[in-house]
Amino acid sequence: NDVYFQVGLITIIGLGAKNAVLIIEFAKDLHARGASLVDAVLEAAHLRFRPIIMTSMAFILGVLPLVIASGAGAASRHSIGTGVFGGMLAATFLAIFFVPLFYVVIGKLTRRGKPPASPIEPQPATALAPPQDDQTRVDDKEKQ
């Protein structure tokens, strides 16, 4: 029920969601370009690994002074610091390993009942235009 801890959780939810969205967007883009679902997710996780680790470690080290705070007001700093510190460690681990895993599992489950997409896209039908007045006159003259 500590308000400082709750603020820390909201921060963690936002950063964790950002990391997950970046991995999934990269994977969707690669999959749309023709890569298999598993290859697209592995490549996206590989591409986003370093940026996720760098931002997470910077954030974790940034709240370290809150975790080891002492003096007046240390209880509130300690409560927000420990929540954010531990939450960011967990969110980083989840973003790197479980987000790609769940995306592949759910992607395969949702595609199981659907027929595979055809590589050739159907062309839209074009309506034949009625003959113009000049064209009708030429055709009539040829018939005579």
The pLDDT tens digits for 107-120 are 888 877 666 555 56
Q: Where are the domains of the chain?
A: 3-110
CA–CA distance, 82 with 66 (Å, rounded to integer): 8
Superfamily in which the 3-110 domain is placed by CATH: Multidrug efflux transporter AcrB transmembrane domain (1.20.1640.10)
- pLDDT at residue 72 in the model: 87
64-97: pLDDT as tens digits: 998 888 888 888 888 888 889 999 999 999 888 8
- pLDDT at residue 69 in the model: 85
**Tokens standing for residue 20:** 């997950």
CA–CA distance, 68 with 118 (Å, rounded to integer): 59
- pLDDT at residue 127 in the model: 67
Answer whether 62's CB lies under 8 Å from 81's CB.
no
